[in-house]
């Protein structure tokens, strides 16, 4: 089984709207995220991060900045006893094939890991774009959102006819469910 994970809002604290995590100093793991990743590492066959990073296209950060953030994030996860098998990111803004909810990042992952079966995979995200991507791919969809955002996102999903298999408060909570 493959678990696809959005980054901002699932693994780390999301910056305010219009801002981006631009450096390791701005990166902050969400409560329970490291423990959740450790639990998922023990059970999932593959953990892959798929993340939109339009801050690059907007000139707020460079790909080198993003690479540094990811290198340090992976080191912290390994040090805690977890793992991430791959990270795919979209540096573009607007319509492109790799920006979620489109499937380009996922198809790149499948090219690198041909054994991936989307129907046996789960996508864990915090936004409607993640739920749309899961639906397009035929993956199970898990929403990570606090009560303040959960209701709004679930209503958007209902209006768009998007199934949500599970809604949880954190990656740790997801890691303790039977869906993980």
- Which parts of the chain fold into alpha helices (H)? 33-43, 63-80, 104-112, 128-137, 147-160, 171-175
6 is catalytic: yes
Distance CA 170, CA 173 (A): 5
Residue 138 exposed, middle or buried by CB count within 10 Å (0-12, 13-18, 19+) = exposed
| 107 contacts 139 by C-beta, under 8 angstroms | no
**E strand or H helix at 125, and its extent?**
strand 121-125
8 is catalytic: yes
Residue 77 exposed, middle or buried by CB count within 10 Å (0-12, 13-18, 19+) = buried
Cα three-residue angle 47-49-54, rounded to 5 degrees: 175
Active site residues per annotation: 6, 8
């Amino acid at each position: 089984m493959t678990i696809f994970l959005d980054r901002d809002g699932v693994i780390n604290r999301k910056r305010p709207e219009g801002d981006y995590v631009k450096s390791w100093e701005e990166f902050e793991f969400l409560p329970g995220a490291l423990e959740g990743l450790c639990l998922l590492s023990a059970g999932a066959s593959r953990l892959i991060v798929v993340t939109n990073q339009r801050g690059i296209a907007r000139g707020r950060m460079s790909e080198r900045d993003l690479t540094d953030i990811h290198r340090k994030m992976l080191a912290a996860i390994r040090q805690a006893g977890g793992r991430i098998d791959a990270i795919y990111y979209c540096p573009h803004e607007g319509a492109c094939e790799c920006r979620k909810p489109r499937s380009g990042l996922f198809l790149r992952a499948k090219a690198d890991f041909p054994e991936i079966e989307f129907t046996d995979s789960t996508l864990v995200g915090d936004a409607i774009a993640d739920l749309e991507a899961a639906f397009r791919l035929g993956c199970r969809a898990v929403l990570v959102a606090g009560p303040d955002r959960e209701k709004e996102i679930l209503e958007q999903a209902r209006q768009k006819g998007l199934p949500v298999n599970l809604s949880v408060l954190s990656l740790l909570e997801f890691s303790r469910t039977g869906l993980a």
